[in-house]
Amino acid sequence: MDRLKQPEGVKSALRVLDIFELLAQYPDGISLSEISAKLSIPKSSTHNLLATLMSRSYLREGRHDRTYRLGARLFELGSSYMAGADLLTEGQEVVRETAHACDETVHLAILDGNEVLYIAKEEGTNTVRMVSAVGRRFPAYGTGVGKMLLSALAATELDEIYPPEKILMPITPRTITDPSAFRQELAEIRRRGYATDFEESTPGLCCIAAPVFGSDDVIVAAISVSVPTVRFTAERQATLRLLMQRGAARLSRVLGYHPGSS
């Protein structure tokens, strides 16, 4: 709908949102005239909106004379939102919707020492699918989610968990056990932004995992899809990778992650 044809109340609400989004770009403040010009709002209307927002502490005086910047009330609202942005609750919803989109089993997992802990799961409807359970633990080095989470660790942290001179125990014949090859795999995962598991944890099963970031720009979890090898074609892999990345990005945003903000 054309914004010019909106009812006056809706138009005012849109203008308030525009002001918030504009001021977010000017942490030191910006003048009434600049706000009016940048948003194409008459000065009289801009003044009234700013006065109202100031009176409710949504705005405050800028660092320079006669300028405006975002106020404490917005911080309070943001803090309230983040308090309710629970990884498990929000993650289960994303996992459910992602699983329905691809009709495969989707997991959300976190890293706990040298293991991954599955905290959310939704199964697809296919007759051949992964049998797993929320609360299950698995060696991190053998899974897609585990490798995704391990790839975010500093070299010293990784060496504490997996000493570089120690061979990893094979889980299946395809598990990466050589320490050097494993570290090369993690470096490639960091470069491309997703992880794979080609029957490294379970014979006949493949996975793709994508990272979930928290508000501090640190990977806090990973989402993965588990697919029988017979359905893991090149075309299917591309589709599933996109779905995992979209689901992970959505959950990251809910948790307060803003790419490029740091």
Domain spans in the chain, listed from the N-terminal domain onward: 3-82, 85-254
pTM given for the model: 0.68
Angle at 119 between CA 148 and CA 210, to 5 degrees: 25
Show pLDDT as tens, one digit a residue, over the chain (262 residues).
344 455 666 888 999 999 999 998 998 999 999 999 999 999 999 999 999 999 999 999 988 889 999 998 887 777 665 555 578 888 999 999 999 999 999 999 999 889 998 988 988 776 544 545 667 889 999 999 999 999 999 999 999 999 999 999 999 999 999 999 999 999 999 999 999 999 999 999 999 999 999 888 899 999 999 999 999 999 999 999 999 999 999 999 988 888 865 4
> Which residue reads 């000017």 in tokens?
26
**Main-chain phi, psi angles of 247, to 5 degrees:** -65, -45
> Which residue reads 């809910």 in tokens?
254
CATH class for domain 85-254? alpha beta
Question: Hey, which CATH number is domain 3-82, 3.40.1190.20, 1.50.10.20, 3.40.1110.10, 1.10.10.10?
Answer: 1.10.10.10
Give me the half-sphere count of Cα atoms (radius 13 Å) on the Cβ side of residue 23. 26
> Which residue reads 């009709």 in tokens?
103
Q: In the prediction, which pLDDT does 258 show? A: 81
